[in-house]
Amino acid sequence: MNNIIDSKLIYGSKWNGYPILDQYSPFIENYLYKNLLTIEHATEQYPRVFAIRVDLNLPLGYDETDTAVISRFFDSMNSQIYEDYVRHAREGVYLNSCRLRYVWAKERGPENGSIHYHVCLLLNHKRYAALGRYVHGDVIDWSQAQRNMAHRIMKAWYSATQGMAYAGLAHFPENGSYDLNRNGPDFYLQKTELFKRLSYLAKVWTKETVENRRYGCSRG
């Protein structure tokens, strides 16, 4: 818990009426607040939002002081989303806009284990509504890879780690996709379920504190 000074710590099973994973308490309140704000910004802009949880593991021997790796991941994701739009436009196909929003937490495994990132991506459901088929293999020819969201994520991590990451280092947890429909009868339940899942990213335990970059989120 060294250097956890962002805000007060939260214990228990709820925060501001929202459920949290109390077995992982305490939580950093500022991170819980930013998680919620990111979800609300996404659902305010788009009536339906597709959210994806993914864990990004650093390759063996990778420079752990490279704190810019997560920024490069999101840069690559944004670039691929834009390129997808341009490619379809050239083919005369209209695509809905899609602003990428995200939250991430950097952690180190117990007993000086490896560094990894827990990430959630929030996308316009009208543009992207499925993760797609993928295989956690060791090698993918990115020039021939199927264009789906799972492969975009894998490719972005490969690019961010300067070609060191193989496909299996981007891991998609079980039941890690969420469909939030702002106008649907189950919206509050969908929102609270995603918020509860993301509370894991706000826990104090195992947070990596190298250069104080252990959590981040998109702005606005």
pLDDT of 85 reads 92
133 part of a folded domain: yes
12 part of a folded domain: no
Model pLDDT for residues 6-30, shown as the tens digit of each residue: 579 999 999 999 999 999 999 999 9
Helices in the chain by DSSP H: which ranges? 29-45, 69-90, 149-160, 187-198
Model pLDDT for residues 62-120, shown as the tens digit of each residue: 998 899 999 999 999 999 999 999 998 999 998 999 999 999 999 987 766 788 999 99
- State the average pLDDT over residues 29-37: 97
Report the predicted TM-score, pTM, of the whole model to 2 decimal places.
0.91
Specify the number of domains making up the chain.
Answer: 1
Which residues span the domain enclosing 127?
A: 30-202+213-217
117 part of a folded domain: yes
- State the average pLDDT over residues 176-180: 97
pLDDT of 7 reads 76
pLDDT of 111 reads 62
39 part of a folded domain: yes
Burial 72-96 (b: 16+ CB within 10 A, else e): bbbebbeebbeebbeeeeeeeeebe
Cis amide leading into 47 (omega within 30): no
Separation CA 55–CA 109 (nearest Å)? 13
User: Both tokens of residue 87?
Assistant: 């490619």
Residue 197: partners with Cβ closer than 8 Å, 6 or more residues away: 21, 53, 120, 178
165 part of a folded domain: yes
